[in-house]
């Protein structure tokens, strides 16, 4: 489904973020990408989101080179991906309902669908009682669950979770991991980057380990080894 083909990324200051990496991701896979800070995890995700272009190599989604897409198609492509960030990145001036509705609006959904689906996804993440609150009125764990609801509301093919548990306590971390596993069980590819050994080990799925821009391990049922 996703294919990184000999991808390198060298920034203008000569930092080598990714160094000739090749790997494939099949449909419905759950992949944890681990590595120290500066190993290239964030660059890898940015490439998938078409935020960064590779210096060398290509990234394919279903045989389409995503970095050769015209700008308008990049927007459509991004609507196939749900993203969850460590710092939640919710729109602070919008209510929880509006944060999730916004993702549906930009994907061109009708108001009636939005009115039906937003409460539904909020129920999935157990936040239906916070629908009219603002992000600042929620705890860290609740914010992350809203971010997950926003990421999945358009039923994306891929969910990217960039350090989603970095700011959470163990209980909320456990809840977020369970939700991500549930999303994966429904057939969505989940790509998780994390520093949290416990999270990787509890997921128990494929683990790609990066070190200084290179893949040093790719274990089908891996553990966090660094």
- Is residue 49 at the binding interface for another protein, with CB under 8 A as the rule? yes
Q: How far is the CB of 85 from another protein (least distance, A)?
A: 9
Using the rule CB under 8 A, give the single segment among 34-42, 101-109, 174-182, 215-223 that binds another protein: 101-109
Which residue stretch of 96-104, 168-176, 178-186, 200-208 sits at the interface with another protein (rule: CB under 8 A)? 96-104
Query: Applying CB under 8 A, which of residues 11, 24, 65, 91 lies at the interface with another protein?
Result: 91
Q: 22-61: b or e for each residue (b if 16 or more CB lie within 10 Å)? A: ebebeeebbbbbbbeeebbbbbbbbbbbbebebeebebbb
Q: Is the C-alpha dihedral spanning 181, 183, 187, 189 positive or negative?
A: negative
When binding is defined by CB under 8 A, the residue of 20, 26, 62, 110 that contacts another protein is 110
CB atoms within 10 A of CB 111: 10
Q: Binding segment for another protein among 12-20, 33-41, 55-63, 82-90 (CB under 8 A)?
A: 82-90
Least distance to another protein from the beta carbon of 138, Å?
Answer: 16
Binding string, residues 134-173; x marks residues near another protein by CB under 8 A: ----------------x-----------------------
Angstrom distance (rounded) from CA 136 to CA 43: 29
Q: Which is nearer to another protein, 76 or 139 (CB)?
A: 76
Which 3 state secondary structure label does DSSP give 181? helix
Q: Please, which residue, 78 or 130, has the CB nearer to another protein?
A: 78
- In 50-106, the DSSP E strands lie at 56-61, 64-65, 81-85
Closest Cα partner for 224 from 213, 210, 116, 117? 210
Residue 92 CB burial class (10 angstroms; 0-12, 13-18, ≥19)? exposed
Q: From the list 20, 26, 105, 201, which residue makes contact with another protein (rule: CB under 8 A)?
A: 105
Q: Toward another protein, which CB reaches closer, 150 or 206?
A: 150
Q: How far apart are CA 132 and CA 138, in angstroms?
A: 11
Q: Is 187 in the site for another protein (CB under 8 A)?
A: no
Count, residues near another protein per rule CB under 8 A: 25
User: What residues numbered 203-222 form the site for another protein, per CB under 8 A?
Assistant: none
DSSP 99-128: HHHHHHHHTT--HHHHHHHHHHHHHHTT-G
What does the binding site for another protein look like in residue numbers (CB under 8 A)?
49, 51, 72, 75-79, 83, 89-94, 98, 102-103, 105-108, 110-111, 150
């Amino acid at each position: 489904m996703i294919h990184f083909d000999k991808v390198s990324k060298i920034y203008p200051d000569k930092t080598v973020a990714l160094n000739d990496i090749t790997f494939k991701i099949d449909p419905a896979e759950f992949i944890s990408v681990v590595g120290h800070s500066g190993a290239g995890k964030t660059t890898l995700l940015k490439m998938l989101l078409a935020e960064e272009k590779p210096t060398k190599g290509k990234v394919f989604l279903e045989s389409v080179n995503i970095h050769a897409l015209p700008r308008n198609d990049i927007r459509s492509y991004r609507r196939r991906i749900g993203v969850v960030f460590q710092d939640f990145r919710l729109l602070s001036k919008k209510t929880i309902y509006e944060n999730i509705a916004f993702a549906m609006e930009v994907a061109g959904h009708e108001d009636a669908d939005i009115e039906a689906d937003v409460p539904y996804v909020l129920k999935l993440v157990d936040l239906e009682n916070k629908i009219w609150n603002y992000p600042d009125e929620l705890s860290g764990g609740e914010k992350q669950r809203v971010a997950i609801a926003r990421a999945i509301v358009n039923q994306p093919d891929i969910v990217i979770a960039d350090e989603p548990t970095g700011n959470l306590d163990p209980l909320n971390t456990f809840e977020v991991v369970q939700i991500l596993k549930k999303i994966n069980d429904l057939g969505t590819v989940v790509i998780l980057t994390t520093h949290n050994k416990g999270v990787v080990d509890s997921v128990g799925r494929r683990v790609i380990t990066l070190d200084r821009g290179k893949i040093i391990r790719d274990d089908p049922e891996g553990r966090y080894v660094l």
